[in-house]
Structure 1
Amino acid sequence: MVENTFETNLSHRQGADSLIDSKYYDDDGRPKRTGGVWITSSHIITAVIGSGVVSLAWSIAQMGWVAGIVVMLFFSVVTWYTSLILADCYRTGDPITGPRNYTFMNAVSSILGGWNVTWCGIAQYSNLFGTAIGYTIGASISMMAIKRSNCFHDSKGADPCHVSANPFMIGFGIVQIFFSQIPNIHEIWWLSIVAAIMSYTYSTIALGLGIAKVAENRTFKGTLTGVSFGDVRKVWGIFQGLGNIAFAYSFSMILIEIQPNFFIYRKHELIILTTQDTIKSPPSEVKTIKKATNISILATTFFYLLCGCSGYAAFGDTVPGNVLTGLGFTNPYWLIDIGNAAIAIHLVGGYQVFVQPLFAFVEKEASKKWPKIDNKTFKIPIPGLSPYNLNLFRLVWRTVFVITTTVISMLIPFFNDVLGLIGALGFWPLTVYFPVEMYILQMKIPKWSRKWVFLQILSVLCLIVSAVATVGSVVGIILDLKDYKPFSVGS
């Protein structure tokens, strides 16, 4: 991923012994790490809980009470296990003195190497591009929900309140064009802090409203087998639900990169913001990561089950794809508006956190191929501030990128379908395959041994899950497109 642009060079200055003091610097010459189990756990929990939480109730509805909960526990256990084995890859070779791997990509490069690095890059950058589309859709739906909620409240339900998503997507795109001109991720750390607060806000609101609705109904809705279509759509719905849950759970690749220089808030964002890891030693980083993983997975699974089950219990098989935007909840409308505003603000920051590494990668490769593009920079004076360096290539290419993601979002504005597709495509390679393959090489596990066979079976099983989830999400998009007219007024 993005190289550390401001890491210390002390480790490369072996002659400067006076600067390398074990009281202040670790064995690699970086400033002393101070993170412990609870700090690490808090970063993981903050990173995992995000926009995927609002689709969990819908995912459970596709499978029913039994299968829905079992699938959530399956993803929880798989993510927990792959996180534990990935912890053993923090250092290459010796777990105490071996060279540190500062990023997930760094670990893949140093342990696996070869074509795996290219594949890992493709998987990660494709995931970033897809997430930019998903976030554009999610933000626009939340903004639509605010307008519809107030319309329903003012008309007391008499007005159908048809609202088009297109103006909101265009507005979101304009905002992203502006933020995208910020040179790099390190200059928008404050967006991550705001987004983290927003993430907790709407997640808590969704949970609270679900519990309140169940109390109001005085019964638990839902069925053991979930939504009943009576045809193949039931199968596609289950497959798509798998992708949605995978999107909410996939986070094992963040463990290597946990660090405190920036407040990091969800899933793959941790990969993007990382500049140096934070876990102190002794005890060994591996032990700290594993303890933090146990705490974090337990807490996250408990929260996810509460959110998903409370939403399904509140609405049963009619639960909307997004519990805060589907008008499942109508009162108190002001609280719902706050929840949706929090989602929109979160996704503004989340979009940038995802796309900035993609920007950096493309611009780095472009500057290698066309060195002169870096010279096309102009200083724009800003009263009271430092001059802004406007790079023409950055201006044009980043603007084109945002416009592209916005247009694609307008063509396929299907929140659950897109989230499911992103989760499905990223789950197996990033959460399972690379951690498993790195662990096998790192621990020198003999081929055809019991553990090797177990790990391969786990990898194949998760590949199948990712494959069917991908198919379900693609079919969902195709089916939705049959009844959707691009650039039309939504319902």
Structure 2
Amino acid sequence: MLQRSRTLPSRIHHGAVEERHDIRHYLQVEVQPKVTESEAINPQSSYSKCFDDDGRLKRTGNFWTSASHIITAVIGSGVLSLAWAIAQLGWVAGPSVLLLFALVNLYTSNLLAMCYRSGDPVTGQRNYTYMDAIKANLGGRKVMLCGLVQYFNLFGVAIGYTIASSVSMMAIKRSNCYHKSGGKDPCHMSSNGYMITFGIIEVIFSQIPDFNQVWWLSIVAAIMSFTYSSVGLGLGIGKVVGNGGFKGSLLGISIGTVTHAGTVTPTQKMWRSMQALGAIAFAYSYSLVLIEIQDTIRSPPAEHKTMKKATVFSIALTTVFYLFCGCFGYAAFGDLAPGNLLTGFGFYKPYWLLDIANVAIVVHLVGAFQVCLRAAC
């Protein structure tokens, strides 16, 4: 018979110990977390990761998305007319007015950002739109008056977007026509078809739910706005270098200057100056959709803090860009600066670069239409 191993009892002993340990572990009952009284009374707190304090889905906007929304709303094809505006005011008043309107817009935007919540700026009731903020702070007939002003403004913006996009589409076809014919064919065409095309595109995009809140929409639109503005700026710098110096005067276009529209008279000088002020003011306009942009920001921190930072960053960036585009455009053309900076370089020199800029304008306006106009609806 084989001798019994001396190690067997110890193994059995350890095996029994391990088995009893496994049984205790198996029979052990886990202690469940107790539900507090506040959670039982307010079950909404358990869903705080998915919903905000107003019961809506959690907002995901941040500093960068807000800044891109603002840049999309502020920088439009109007930046290409700043050279003409500065040409009417001159080297002294032109840049000064740009800086003045930037400061005014910054101040009023910060005031409006504080109107997003009624009462307490952190826990107060939210105002989802510009009209909600007016109703909460003013009330009465002022709501109807401000509503008429807002929608009349947005109606004008929609018309402007449609016309500007159709002009850019037409410019692409015309530049290619000029390039093929060597400038011999006048390439006359109608913009009606392009306006209808732009309208159809916007109608299609308007059927997509919350398309104006897609995070990448404003980023793409902002990139496009910087693209065509950079093209205009680059061509302006190139023309200044080619001219060998800066053009323009301290007081702007002088009386008696012969332009494409005729000789500038004292009355026309005053009218042109007023138009220049309007063009610069319109270039900074985005307050009518500021509340809607702020309603996309997550908290904490408080929405008005993020919005103020985004406003300072966006307005500072656009102001620097405006100064470069406007001043170099004026330096390139002087008193004869065109109303649209891109058209001042001709349609075929260099035609491919102008095509890229005009495509960027169209893409930007398609996105800006959704961001600006659907936000207020």
Instruction: Indicate the TM-score class for this superposition, using the shorter chain for normalisation.
Output: 0.7 to 0.9
Task: Report the AA paired with residue 62 of structure 1.
Answer: Q
Deviations 1:347-397 (A, max 9, x none): 345456566578x6xxxxxxxxxxxxxxxxxxxxxxxxxxxxxxxxxxxxx
State the alpha-carbon separation in 1 of the partners of residues 210 and 60 from structure 2: 23
The corresponding residue for 1:130 is 156
For 2:365 and 2:274, the matched residues in 1 are separated by 25
Q: CA deviation at 1:15?
A: 6.9
Give the SS at the match of 1:201. Answer: helix
Instruction: Extract unaligned runs of 5+ from structure 1.
Output: 1-13, 260-275, 361-491
Note the 1:33-52 alignment, pairs <5 A. Answer: 33-52=59-78
CA distance in 2, matches of 1:96, 1:187: 26
Matches within 5 A, 1:321-470: 321-327=339-345, 330-351=348-369
Q: CA 1:74/1:100 → structure 2, altered by over 3 Å: closer, same or farther?
A: same
**Alpha-carbon shift at residue 96 of structure 1 (Å):** 2.4
CA separation in 2, counterparts of 1:298 and 1:67?
19
Identity %: 56
Match of 2:124 in 1: 98
- Equivalent of 1:213, from 193, 218, 239? 239
**CA spacing shift, 1:99–1:21, aligned 2, 3 Å:** same
Residue in 1 that maps onto 2:196: 173
Q: Shift in Å at residue 33 of structure 1?
A: 4.0
1:303 aligns with 2:328: no
CA–CA distance in structure 2, aligned partners of residues 321 and 69 of structure 1? 17
**One-letter amino acid of the counterpart of residue 322, structure 1:** N
Partner-residue secondary structure (3-state), 2:126: coil
Q: Deviations over 1:212-262 (max 9, x none)?
A: 222222211111111222421111111111111112101234332226xxx
2:62 and 2:298 in contact (8 A); partners too: yes
Report SS of the residue matched to 1:258. Answer: helix
Q: AA paired with 2:156?
A: G
Residue 280 of structure 1 pairs with residue 299 of structure 2:
yes
Contact 2:163 2:195 in 1 (8 A): no
Counterpart of 2:312 in structure 1 is: 294
In the alignment, the residues of structure 1 paired with residue 316 and residue 269 of structure 2 have an alpha-carbon distance, to the nearest angstrom, of 30
What is the deviation of 1:342?
Answer: 2.1
Give yes or no for contact 2:84–2:338 (8 Å, CA) kept in 1.
Answer: yes
1:287 & 1:349 partners in 2: Cα distance?
Answer: 26
Residue matched to 2:22: none
Structure with more contact order per residue of length (Cα contacts < 8 Å, sep ≥ 6) = 2
Task: Describe how 1:152-167 pairs up with structure 2 within 5 A.
Answer: 152-157=178-183, 159=184, 161=186, 163-164=188-189, 166=190
| Structure 1 equivalent of residue 105 of structure 2 | 79
Task: Report the residue type matching 2:328 in the other structure.
Answer: S
Select which of 221, 234, 245 maps to 2:269.
234
Q: Which residue of 2 aligns with 1:476?
A: none
Q: TM-score, normalised by structure 1?
A: 0.60
Cα deviation 1:78-134 (Å, max 9, x = unaligned) = 100001111221211122221121221111111111112212221122122222322
Residue 333 of structure 2 aligns with which residue? 315
Q: CA deviation digits over 1:254-307, x for unaligned, max 9?
A: 332226xxxxxxxxxxxxxxxx4214223x322222222222221111111111
The corresponding residue for 1:243 is: 278
1:44-91: per-residue Cα shift (whole Å, max 9, x none)? 233321211111111111111111111111110110000111122121
- 1:430-450 CA distance string (max 9 Å, x none): xxxxxxxxxxxxxxxxxxxxx
Structure 1 letter corresponding to 2:241: A
Distance 1:293 1:355, change over 3 A: closer
TM-score when scaled to structure 2?
Answer: 0.76
1:57–1:330 distance in 2 versus 1, CA, 3 Å:
farther
The answer as to 2:282 corresponding to 1:252 is no
Mark the CA change 1:127 to 1:188 in structure 2 (over 3 Å): closer, same or farther.
Answer: same
CA 1:98–1:19: 2 relative to 1, 3 Å: closer
The verdict on how the C-alpha distance between 1:254 and 1:178 changes in structure 2, with shifts beyond 3 A counting, is closer
CA RMSD between the two structures: 2.9
* Residues 95-104 or 309-318, more deviating: 95-104
Is contact 2:292-2:375 (8 Å) kept? no
Aligned residues of 1:33 and 1:281 also touching (Cα < 8 A): no
Distance across 1 between alignment mates of 2:371 and 2:305: 29
1:130-155 CA distances to partner (integer Å, 9 max, x unpaired)?
22322232123223333443344444
Taking a change above 3 Å as real, the CA distance of residues 329 and 144 of structure 1, as seen in their structure-2 partners, is closer
Bigger CA radius of gyration = 2
2:23 equivalent in structure 1: none
1:136 alignment partner, SS class: helix
